[in-house]
Amino acid sequence: MSERLAVRKTYKLFIGGAFPRSESGRSYVVNDSKGGFVANAARASRKDVRDAVVAARKAFPGWAGRTPYNRGQILYRIAEMLEGRHAQFVDELRAGGLTRPAAAAEVDAAIDRWVWYAGWADKIGSVAGAANPVAGPFFNLSTPEPTGVVGIIAPDSALLGLVSVVAPAIVSGNTAVVVAAEPAPLPAISFAEVLATSDLPSGVVNLLTGLRGELAPWLASHQDVNALDLSGADDTLATDCERTAADTLKRVRRGENPDYTVDPGLDAITAFLETKTVWHPIGV
Amino acid sequence: MGIFEYAPAPESASIVDIQPSYGLFIDGGFTEAKQSFKTINPATEEPLAEVGMAAAEDVDRAIAAARTAYDKVWGPMPGRDRAKYLFRIARIIQERSRELAVLESLDNGKPIRETRDVDVPLVAAHFFYYAGWADKLSHAGFGASPRPLGVAGQVIPWNFPLLMLAWKIAPALACGNTVVLKPAETTPLSALWFADICRQADLPPGVVNIVTGAGETGRYLVEHPGIDKVAFTGSTEVGRQIARSVAGSGKKLTLELGGKAANIVFDDAPLDQAVEGIVNGIFFNQGHVCCAGSRLLVQETVAEEILGKLRTRMATLRVGDPLDKNTDIGAINSAEQLERIRTLSDLGEQEGATRWSPACELPDRGFWFAPTLFTGVSQAHRIAQDEIFGPVLSVLTFRTPAEAVDKANNTPYGLSAGVWTEKGSRILWMADKLRAGVVWANTFNKFDPASPFGGYKESGFGREGGRHGLEAYLNV
Amino acid sequence: MGNVGDAGEVSTLTISGPAELRGFLHGLPGVDQIGAEERAARLGTRSIKTTAKAEAIDLAISMVDLTTLEGADTPGKVRSLCAKAMHPEPGDPSVPKVAAVCVYPDRIAIAAEALRDTGIQLASVATAFPSGRAALEVKLADTRDAVRDGATEIDMVIDRGAFLSGDYAKVFDEIVAIKAECGTAHLKVILETGELNTYDNVRRASWLAMLAGADFIKTSTGKVSPAATLPVTLIMLEAVRDFRAQTGRQVGVKPAGGIRTTKDAIKYLVTVNEIAGPDWLSPEWFRFGASSLLNDLLMQRRKLTTGVYTGPDYVTVD
């Protein structure tokens, strides 16, 4: 009896809710930890970045305009879908070199972290906002609002790290263009498949696989990107991007050396929030 | 066409499978009580089921189970896991939402449209909201690692049975407490369904315990030395008794009691929406709402116009079968409550106020009361002071904002208030001056798990909902 | 001016001059957007079944102004539409006729010929429909032509540019002039609510049109999105209700554009019933400006009578 031949997956980009190949037609080879061939991942180009930003901008008003409860529900649904693909993610992380127990622990932690962030959707306002006691007959309210389109260079930690940069950006209503971990992009594409089956509106998260050094500078210079998360960029690249981002005064989060075992805190959420303060007189 | 008659549009009750009898839910399982009582459908007076009457030893056992679960399982459990149980419960409520909506309508008498569109969605939302706090307590502003209190004894009323259960249980569990809850005597069923939902969610035994019964059961529960926290929603009269009994015990207490809210309409209000807000404020849920806008304070300049529109609007309210999807006003919850409403309304007439109701065909069986308007009311009337808890609106007038504030605040209650005006600064000025825990401006009866709710003065103390709602269940 | 606020008392409302008109319109009570939309949404949850649904469907059919307003309208297209108006369901004479056919002014003559002696009204759009951006003479001319060729109803557009810049008197005077040109034809005034943007503006425009003599107020041209919505129609129904209470004169309401399903049409009928009242529940006082709605009404009607779901192959195209 011959072994059944598998139908191999094609790993494409995730832009505007669809899975296109790179417009450049390029790919790059992804090997497993033993050097064996796993897949040709799409190698995104600057034009893919451009298209992804257009998709993210288009999705922003709708996503930011949803009720926080609704965003929380959708993020929780994503966690349900992630849980359903637990085994698949374990396999992909093992192909990237982790042992089975380590891979399982990472998938568990990634799902739990996503659930943690989902619960912030309808709470960040209470914690980051305030009614301010000004010295005059004025009602004064500060509310946090999402900044817009966030460009994210995801860290090497292919799933836990990915989740730790994507969830905090979008939970408050931002949309994102994410450059997946260059050495291990496959969990990111499977993650995109989860997003596509989770009621997340198209364009809220766009995912590109490819070379960080090639793609990050285009995100950093793009005038329609409001903020950057440089967690996955090495020092040199990150500093270059920060400098480029200064031209448009983007909000930049370096996100160095995260410890994924501890409470992430709020900085990954608040880094991408604007605070709006409204005054109104109090009088008959 | 003539009259556009809406044909009967009944929701089927067959989705709910009500057993002849139910026991008490203690330590993860149902056990029989020695005595039982009937719960009926107030729209038909038909019995729905027999329900256990928890005696002292049952309550003792429930508290012991809650204590063990707190010490061994729920207290030590990381917030992340408590969150997941609560998310499961929220999901199951969504999955069984139609069943729960029909059940609540049958047991309480409120219209299916309300249970379907308001009660049950809010119940699920409360569990989702507080699930999300369970693993974030260190960010809630109560210190680095706030601890729970222990075992909470909770007694809830009959007007929003499942929703009041959600308001009590969701934050308690999120913070790490375990609970023993007593639903109201006339509306025990949705709490028993909730017990089944806890089982479907695999909630560890003893974390939630439901002890059905009457006043005696509730009193025994709140006075029990084995609990650390008492939470009560109900009448101010009973709230006083509980506060008295808790004195000196060290138990933490929160109370959500009665109200006699003023719904204040200025002459520059958006008039049609104000009329809708008045109607919603007092006729929603048959007026069985602690924060109901039971006093309309209307500016004299616009009083006649508003009353004209109000009467026209009241004439389109449909009173009848709660399971008919077109019903606006359902049955009064019990014979006792109906008697109270009738007595106070008759008193209103005797005191000289002018009574009016639209023509209303009421069914023969069941407990019904037509929506009623009293005009010519002043603060000196009892119907402006006493909580009627029925579809009865008392109308007073005022001339200036200052006078509106004085009249609105002239009550021992302080739960809620409504303000209707297109002028923003006046909204904020009124809100500042009104001594009420909830102020609705250009809207009414809006609830959200993220929004703190609770009263001033004799409407109780403590807040439910929002970040503030965590405080009641933390040792802070 | 008459007494504002005496509900039920008939009074004469006279406005003399632009300043008074502005004062009156700006003195109308505001509309809270959220409250109005909530009321409309709740009315939309009414459950209309069985006998009530059958009656509502037939009533809705009888209220349809079957419409074609395309640059490509040929005589053939117009005749085909008229045939559909007269026999919505070939082989089922129990199906009511529609209320009217609505076309561009230069197609009226053909439609008048086709609809002769049928009792179906013939409505013409006019006044440089849909934009309304032309000189008054042009607007009067196309009204005149339509009336001469046999139109029994004129659907005019207001000058939204004038309205939004506060020149209420210009809008008012144009309506009065067009009304005079109508003769015995009824005048519907299209507010183009999608361009007015706020419910406050819809309320003001409704009152302005009625004060100027409109027989009907209509939401939209159907050429701009959003067209008719339930909340906008609710506001207009409140306006006609209050106008009749104050002046004794009843004005009709026509939502147009975007109403495609029976479910939607029934929500509108419920809204008419509970806001303005049963007096408005007839083709004389309420119309649907629609084209594809009719076929959905026919399909739903068939479902009620036969018990099976049907499809587009079983209703005729116009």
Helix, coil or strand: residue C101: strand
Q: Assess whether pLDDT exceeds 80 at residue C2.
A: no
CA distance B82 to B110: 33
- Inter-helix orientation angle A100-118/A68-84, to 10°: 160
**B positions 78-117 inside 8 Å of C (CB):** 113, 117
Spatial CA neighbour of B440 closest among B403, B457, B415, B411: B415
Which of A69, A80, A267 is the best substitution to test chain B (most B C-beta atoms within 10 A)?
A69
DSSP secondary structure string for all residues of B339-394:
HHHHHHHHHHHHTTPEEE-------SSS-----EEEES--TTSGGGTS---SSEEE
Beta bridge partners of C252: C216
Cα B412 to Cα A182, B387, C122, C198: the distances in Å are 67, 11, 66, 41
Buried b (16+ CB within 10 A) or exposed e, A226-237: bbbbbbbbeeeb
CATH class of this structure's domain A27-281: alpha beta
State residue A1's pLDDT score: 59
Q: Is the peptide bond before B146 cis (omega within 30 degrees of 0)?
A: no
Put the strands of the sheet holding A130-131 in their side by side order. Answer: A130-131, A138-146, A273-281
Q: Assess whether pLDDT exceeds 70 at residue C273.
A: yes
Spatial CA neighbour of C276 closest among C219, C230, C237, C233: C237
Contact B314, B371 (CB under 8 A): yes
- Mean pLDDT across chain B, nearest whole number? 97
**One-letter amino acid for residue C299 of the chain:** M
Burial of B99 (0-12, 13-18, 19+ CB in 10 A): middle
Inter-chain CB proximity C35 and B422 less than 8 Å: no
A contacts of B466 (beta carbons < 8 Å):
126
Q: Is B302 on the interface with C (CB under 8 A)?
A: yes
Residues making up chain C, counted from first to last: 318
- Inter-helix orientation angle C50-62/C262-271, to 10°: 90
CA distance B428 to B425: 5
Inter-chain CB proximity B139 and A127 less than 8 Å: yes
Beta bridge partners of A257: none
Count CA within 13 A, CB hemisphere, residue B8: 7
Contact A159, A192 (CB under 8 A): no
Whether chain A lies against chain B with 3 or more Cβ pairs closer than 8 A is: yes
Helix H or strand E encompassing C305: helix C293-306
Spatial CA neighbour of B123 closest among B83, B82, B81, B170: B170
Q: Is C29 on the interface with B (CB under 8 A)?
A: yes
Task: Please state the ipTM of this predicted complex.
Answer: 0.94
Count CA within 13 A, CB hemisphere, residue B446: 15
**Domain containing B33: what range?**
13-257+456-473
DSSP letter at B13? G
In the numeric block, the tokens 């997340």 are attached to: A200
Contact B36, B21 (CB under 8 A): yes
Q: What tokens appear for B362 in the block?
A: 């009421």
Chains that touch A (3 or more CB pairs under 8 A): B
State residue C4's pLDDT score: 38
In chain C the first and final C-alpha atoms are separated, in Å, by 49
User: What's B379's domain CATH number?
Assistant: 3.40.309.10
A contacts of B83 (beta carbons < 8 Å):
115-116, 119
State residue C312's pLDDT score: 86
**One-letter amino acid for residue B441 of the chain:** A
CA distance C234 to C36: 8
Inter-chain CB proximity B450 and A122 less than 8 Å: yes
Q: How confident is the model at residue C5 (pLDDT cuts 50, 70, 90)?
A: very low
Query: B159 with B24, same domain?
Result: yes
State residue A2's pLDDT score: 75
Spatial CA neighbour of A14 closest among A169, A184, A186, A205: A205
Q: Is C281 on the interface with B (CB under 8 A)?
A: yes
Inter-chain CB proximity A282 and B125 less than 8 Å: no
C contacts of B275 (beta carbons < 8 Å):
none
B contacts of C49 (beta carbons < 8 Å):
7-9
State residue C12's pLDDT score: 61
CA distance C29 to B423: 12
CA distance C31 to A274: 31
CA distance B85 to B28: 14
State residue C9's pLDDT score: 41
Q: What are B407-459's pLDDT values in tens digits?
A: 999 999 999 999 999 999 999 999 999 999 999 999 999 999 999 999 999 99
Q: What are C38-71's pLDDT values in tens digits?
A: 999 999 999 999 899 999 999 999 999 999 999 9
Inter-chain CB proximity B401 and A73 less than 8 Å: no
User: What's B177's domain CATH number?
Assistant: 3.40.605.10
Question: For residues A255 and C116, which has the higher predicted lDDT (pLDDT)?
Answer: C116
Chains that touch C (3 or more CB pairs under 8 A): B
Q: What tokens appear for C218 in the block?
A: 């209509």
**How much of chain B, in percent, has pLDDT values that exceed 90?**
99
Q: Is B272 on the interface with C (CB under 8 A)?
A: yes
Residue-range domain boundaries for chain A: 27-281
Q: What are B281-333's pLDDT values in tens digits?
A: 999 999 999 999 999 999 999 999 999 999 999 999 999 999 999 999 999 99
Catalytic: B256? yes
Inter-chain CB proximity A69 and B128 less than 8 Å: yes
In the numeric block, the tokens 């004479």 are attached to: C93
- Mean pLDDT across chain C, nearest whole number? 94
CA distance B207 to A227: 44
Q: In chain B, whose CA is at the least distance from the CA of A263?
A: B136
**One-letter amino acid for residue B276 of the chain:** E
Cα B148 to Cα B28, B71, B206: the distances in Å are 21, 11, 16
Against a cut of 0.80, is the pTM above it?
Answer: yes
State residue A263's pLDDT score: 85
Inter-chain CB proximity A123 and B135 less than 8 Å: no
Q: How big is the CA angle at C191 (ends C186 and C192), to the nearest 5 degrees?
A: 125
Buried b (16+ CB within 10 A) or exposed e, A5-31: eeeeeebbbbbbbebebbbeeebeebe
Assign domain C19-306 one CATH number from 3.40.50.1480, 3.30.56.10, 3.40.50.300, 3.20.20.70: 3.20.20.70
Inter-chain CB proximity C34 and B443 less than 8 Å: yes
Catalytic: C254? yes
The strand pair at A130-131 and A37-42 is best described as unpaired
Q: What are B220-251's pLDDT values in tens digits?
A: 999 999 999 999 999 999 999 999 999 999 99
Q: What tokens appear for B452 in the block?
A: 């703190």
- In this structure, is the dihedral angle defined by the CA atoms of residues B85, B87, B93 and B95, taken in order, positive or negative? negative
In the numeric block, the tokens 């008012």 are attached to: C172
Query: B270 with B250, same domain?
Result: no
Which of A124, A126, A267, A269 is the best substitution to test chain B (most B C-beta atoms within 10 A)?
A126
State residue A34's pLDDT score: 87
Give me the catalytic one of B198, B290, B387, B471.
Answer: B290
**How much of chain B, in percent, has pLDDT values that exceed 70?**
100
State residue C11's pLDDT score: 55
Q: Which residues contact A38 (CB under 8 A, 6 or more apart)?
A: A30, A31, A32, A95, A186
B contacts of C267 (beta carbons < 8 Å):
none
Buried b (16+ CB within 10 A) or exposed e, A160-193: bbbbbbbbbbbbbbbbbbbbbbbebbbbbbbbbb
Inside any domain, residue B45: yes
Q: How confident is the model at residue B3 (pLDDT cuts 50, 70, 90)?
A: confident
Query: B168 with B280, same domain?
Result: no
Spatial CA neighbour of A176 closest among A145, A208, A218: A208
Inter-chain CB proximity A119 and B141 less than 8 Å: no
Give me the catalytic one of B256, B387, B458, B464.
Answer: B256
Q: Assess whether pLDDT exceeds 90 at residue B4.
A: no
Give the number of B-C residue pairs with CB atoms closer than 8 Å. 82
DSSP letter at A257? S
In chain B the first and final C-alpha atoms are separated, in Å, by 65
B contacts of C55 (beta carbons < 8 Å):
1, 4
Q: What are A143-196's pLDDT values in tens digits?
A: 999 999 999 999 999 999 999 999 999 999 999 999 999 988 999 999 999 999
Contact A93, A187 (CB under 8 A): yes
Q: Is B339 on the interface with C (CB under 8 A)?
A: no
Give the number of A-B residue pairs with CB atoms closer than 8 Å. 70
C contacts of B302 (beta carbons < 8 Å):
5
Of A68, A115, A281, the CB nearest to B425: A281
State residue A256's pLDDT score: 73
Inter-chain CB proximity B140 and A283 less than 8 Å: no
Mean pLDDT of B143-151: 97
Q: Is C39 on the interface with B (CB under 8 A)?
A: yes
Residue-range domain boundaries for chain C: 19-306
Q: Assess whether pLDDT exceeds 70 at residue C285.
A: yes
B interface residues, A as partner, C-beta within 8 Å? 80, 83-84, 87, 125, 128-129, 131-136, 138-141, 401-402, 424-426, 428-429, 432, 449-450, 466-467
Chain B closest CA to A266's CA: distance in Å? Answer: 9
Query: B237 with B266, same domain?
Result: no
Inter-chain CB proximity B128 and A123 less than 8 Å: no
- In this structure, is the dihedral angle defined by the CA atoms of residues A90, A95, A101 and A102, taken in order, positive or negative? negative
CA distance B1 to C272: 12
Inter-chain CB proximity A127 and B83 less than 8 Å: no
The stretches of B201-334 forming alpha helices (DSSP H) are 215-223, 236-246, 271-283, 303-314
Q: What tokens appear for A78 in the block?
A: 């994503």
Inter-chain CB proximity A284 and B428 less than 8 Å: no
Contact B333, B42 (CB under 8 A): yes
